Every structure is written in structure tokens, then in C-alpha cells.
Amino acid sequence: MINLKLLESNFDEFNKKLKAKKIDEILLKNLVDTFVTLRKERQELEALQAMQNTKSKEIGELTRKGADVSGLKDELSKNKEALAKQNEVVRELDEKLSKIADNVPNIIDDDVPFGDDENDNVCIKTVLTPPSFDFTPKAHYELTSELDFERGAKISGSRFTILRGDMAKLSRALVNYMIDFNQSRGFELVNVPFFVNSNTLYGTGQLPKFENDLYKVADEDLYLIPTSEVPVTNIYNDEILDESALPIKFTCYSACFRKEAGSAGRDTRGMIRQHQFEKVELVSITKPQDSDRVLQEMIDCASDLLTSLGLAHRHMLLCSGDLGFGAAKTIDLEVWLPGQNKYREISSISNTRDFQARRAKIRYKDGKKNALVHTLNGSSLAVGRTLIAIVENYQQEDGSIAIPEVLKRYM
């Protein structure tokens, strides 16, 4: 959740950054109007409370002197009634503001470029050179029958795929290699449930705004996870951590489930965009002063993993209009896909600052006081897209597919 105190401390900058993130103008107007009204009503409440205290003291002093205080008691009684009504007004406005804020995205970092969509993202680094071919390279869905789209659709519907034989082996090899690689970089392996409750999804920002993208269990407060970021970040939901334990760095394999409600007509061929896919995730929980450094560690980890697989990729700084709901800053890694003759996202590494921590109530003991942590998350990597990248980049003219050296012992 956004820090509503920023509305008061830096109103113009706050609004500017929210507008840059393409927030709905009606939502922003409701947020601002409700905040302004609440501030006015709080001031009225404070005035009534001050009057109650003043008159109570005055009655005490006059009573000790033996003076008649009946008139003052009548005033105090009326003020008490007004105070109770004003308390209710403020409580309702507080509740209204909180509900509005649940749907307001995180504000952007100062170094995030303003822009409308992915066309305004900024390439900050390229790694390795895309391979050249003496033949016309094919897309992954043209290269092997072991990616069985037809039977996947038969048993589950569109955007589901069956992996068979060597493709299934390659997928498993990638998962094991990614986990080992991330552990070597200091990320602790965790295994988490694939089902979570609504409080957990609220903590990382999927609810209430993105409920239509989730698969829900009927008649139960359980949802299939859209990414393991959700359960892993919430491991410390409503807990106070010891400062010495930070940073906490996790890696986790999971299946992920998304309705992809807004992607109709996009990437309908192959397995670029699926309702069920596998991912190895990185999640970090840090002190605020360490989160920039940890973000770079996570970017380096994912990028070095791609480099070790011999896959050309680039680092993209997302503009304000392309940032996710909870992200203050995101670096996407885009891998080269010869079959499409373009770079495609394979990892998205984000710093949410204290946005998720405020919702999930994740704090740490900072001296004598409790403070919110910063949470970060990133793909390392999307397994299916990494498999696609290997199939397309390592294809041979005879239709066979070579295997990166680092994966051979996993095959």
C-alpha cells in the first residue's frame, strides 16, 4: 500500500508520480478528495477533543471551588455527543480511504523514466551477441513434436502445453540448474504451497485489483498462485524481524497459474504465454538502505544465469507506464529469440520498496522502533521461456537442438 503520509508531505510530487503510472483519473480524484476531506474532519475531531479536555479541567477546578457547574456540564454533554458523531465520521472516512488506497499503485522511483508503454522503456545494457545462422531459423513450435500443443489443448484448453521426452528432460534440467545457480549466489531454497488465501494475495498486491487474473477454488478462501513471489514474500506476513537477520534472500521453484485475462489474441502460437507455467523466483527482504544494492545483486544473478547458458539478452529499465502495480522500479531481462527475430521478456526484477511490506505488515526492529522492510522479487528465470530460448538459439540446420554445456550433466 502507498504511504498516505506522502500525500500530505509532498502532494504535487505524489500526484505527478501516480499519474505517470497511468492511474485511473477517477480513482486518483477519489483518493485526493477523500484524503482532503478526512484531513478536514480530523481537524474538527481534534478541536472537539481539545474542547472536551478543556471543559473537563474547567469543571474540575470550579467544582473544587464550590462553584455552580451545571451549565458547563450541559455544554460538556453536548460536546461529548458531537465528539462521538465526529469520531464516526472520521472512522468511516478512514475506512473509505483505505479501500481506495488498496487499488492505488506504488509510486515510481526518481530514476524511472516517464513513458506510456513498452515502447518508452530504456535499454541500459546488452549482454552477448545474438547467434547468426546459415539457414532460416525456425520458431520453437516448428522445431519439435515434443512440445505437444494439440493434446495440451485437448485435455485442458488453449494456452496449455504438454512437454514430452527430451523437452520434459530439458525443462527439469533447467529447474535444477537454476536452483543450484541461485543457491551458489546466496539465495536459500524454499518450497512453498501453490495455494494461498486472500490475505496473502492482498499482502503482495494481487487482491483486490487483479482478482480476475486469478484461479479461485470454489467455496474456499484459496487461490492458485500466479507466482511464488506471493507465498515466499508472505512467509513473514505480520512479523517483526531481527535486524541482524536481514537481508533474507530466497529462491523458489513453483508452477504458476494465470488467467491472462488481458492477453486475448496475443502470443497465441507456441508457449510464450500460458495459463500454467513454471518459474524459479528470487525474493529478497531487506532494510531500506540496502534495497538498491540487493536489487542489483538479483539483476546480476539472473543476467549471469542467462550468460552461463550462452543466451544473448538485454537489460531494460521500464518506464512509468509499463511498471507493474506494486513496483517502484523494474529491470526486465529480454532474451533473443531467433524464431521471432526479436527480444522477449524472460525475467522481471522489481523493487517494491515498502509497498508490499505495508500491506503484509512485515517489519524489523530498527533500534528501539519497528520499521517497514523493503521487498524485492524477480524471475530467475521463467522456465518455459528459457526452454524456448535454448531450442531456438541452439537449433541446428538438420532440425536437431544442441544443449548448453552447463546443462549436460543435468540431462
Annotated binding site: 227-229, 258-260, 281, 345-348, 379
**CB-CB neighbours of 107 under 10 Å:** 24
Interior CA angle at 381 toward 276 and 257, to 5°? 15
User: For residue 355, what are the CA distances in angstroms to 46, 102, 213?
Assistant: 29, 11, 21
**CB-CB neighbours of 4 under 10 Å:** 17
Contact call for residues 262 and 379 (beta carbons, < 8 A): no
Contact call for residues 38 and 13 (beta carbons, < 8 A): no
Q: Which run of H or E residues covers position 85? A: helix 70-101
Residue 285 dihedral angles phi and psi, to the nearest 5°: -125, 120
Task: Take residue 64 and report the three cell numbers written for it.
Answer: 473544587
The whole-angstrom separation of Cα 108 and Cα 106 is 7
In sequence order, the 6+-apart residues with CB closer than 8 A to the CB of 17 are 107, 108, 320
Task: Take residue 119 and report the three cell numbers written for it.
Answer: 515502447
Binding-site residues for ATP sit at 258-260, 345-348
Q: Give the chain's largest Cα–Cα span.
A: 108
Phi-psi region of 399 (alpha: psi -120 to 50; beta: other; left: phi over 0): left
Binding-site residues for L-serine sit at 227-229, 281, 379
Contact call for residues 90 and 48 (beta carbons, < 8 A): no
